[in-house]
Amino acid sequence: MTIQFIKFRKIFYIFSIITIVLSVASIFIFGLELGIDFTGGSMLEVEYENERPSIQAIQEKIPEINSEKVIVQPVEEKGIILKTKSTSEGTYLETIKKLEELGKLREDASQFETIGPVIGNELKNKTQIVVILSLMAIVFYIAFSFRKISRPVNSFAYGFTSLIALCHDVLIPLGIFAFLGKLYGVQVTIPVITAFLTVLGYSINNSVVVFDRARENLLKSRETSFGSIINKSLNETLTRSINTSLTTLFVLFAIFFSGGETLRYFSLTLILGISCGTYSSIFLVTPLLVSYLEWREKRLH
C-alpha cells in the first residue's frame, strides 16, 4: 500500500506549526531553567560510608541554601551531588553537618566546586556559537552532497528544508523543557545541550536517507512529477526510518527509567528529539521541497 504523504502534507504542516507555536510560547512565558553550568553556582559532591539516605530525605533536610533551591542528584550507589545557584562557600560546613545527621560521610570523598557567573556566561556564549556553526555546516554539507540533482529544485533547497526540520526538532523539546522547568524545576545543563547537538546529527541522518533515495529515483525514474518521486522515496524508506528510530528509543527509555537521575534528562532530550526528528524527516522535510517547487512555479507564471 502506498501512503500519500504529499497529498496530505498540509495537515502535517498545520500540526507542526501548532506544536512549534506552543513550544515557542512555552519558552517565552516560562523561560528555560538554566543549570549552574550557565548561570554560575556551587556543586558539592559527597559519599556516604554505608547506605545512602533517600533523595527525598536529603531534600527535606536541605530544602535550600541561602534561599536558593537545591538540586539533588544521586551518584552511583552511595554518592550524591548538591547543586545550587548560590556561590557562597560559607555554607559548605553547615551543609556537611546536615548531611552527616542522615549518615556518616566518607572524609576522602568530599568535593566542593564553584562556577562563577563569568564562566557561566562564557559557556552560554560558546554553546550558542557551536549550535549556529553546526546548523550552517549542515546546510552547506547537504547542498554540496546533493549538487548533482539541482533540478527541479536547487541543491540548497535540500539544505534549507533540513534546517527548518532541525529547528522543528529542537524547538519542541525546548518548549517541553521550559514547561518542565516551570513545573518541576528541570534544568538545562551541559549534558542536555550535548543531547540536543546529538539530536541535530541524528535528525539530519534520517533526512539524508530520504534525500538519497529521492536522488536515486530522480536519476533513474521515468516519472515526470517531482511530487510522485518524493512520495515514492518516502514510502521506500519509511520502514527503515521507523525501525532505526524505534531501536534507539528502546535503549533510551531503558536509560530514562533505570539510568538514575544523572542520565534522566539527557535521555529525555534524546527521546524527544529523535521522536520529533523521525516525524520531521518523514512528514516535513521532503514534502517541503514539493511545496517550495509549487510555490516557485506559481511565482514564475
Nearest C-alpha neighbor of 23 from the set 192, 163, 177: 177
9-35+118-300: CATH topology is Multidrug efflux transporter AcrB transmembrane fold (1.20.1640)
Placement of cell 546529527 in the chain? 201
Please name the helix (run of DSSP H) or strand (run of DSSP E) that holds residue 150, with its range, or none: none
Placement of cell 538545562 in the chain? 188
Q: How many CB atoms lie within 10 A of CB 248?
A: 15
Query: How is residue 258 written as a grid cell?
Result: 533505570
pLDDT of residue 37: 75
Supply the Cα-derived Rg of the chain in whole angstroms: 24
Asked whether 43 and 112 are in contact (CB, 8 A), the reply is yes
pLDDT of residue 217: 84
The residues spanned by each domain of the chain are 9-35+118-300, 41-115
pLDDT of residue 276: 93
* The domain over range 41-115 is classified in CATH as 3.30.70.3400: yes
pLDDT of residue 13: 94
The yes-or-no answer to whether 9-35+118-300 and 41-115 have a common fold is no
pLDDT of residue 66: 56
Placement of cell 504529499 in the chain? 6
281 contact partners, CB below 8 Å, separation of at least 6: 165, 203, 206, 207, 209, 210, 241
Regions of the chain where pLDDT drops below 70:
63-68, 86-91, 107-109, 116-120, 148-151, 222-224, 261, 301
Pairing of strands 41-47, 111-115: antiparallel
pLDDT of residue 301: 66
pLDDT of residue 12: 93
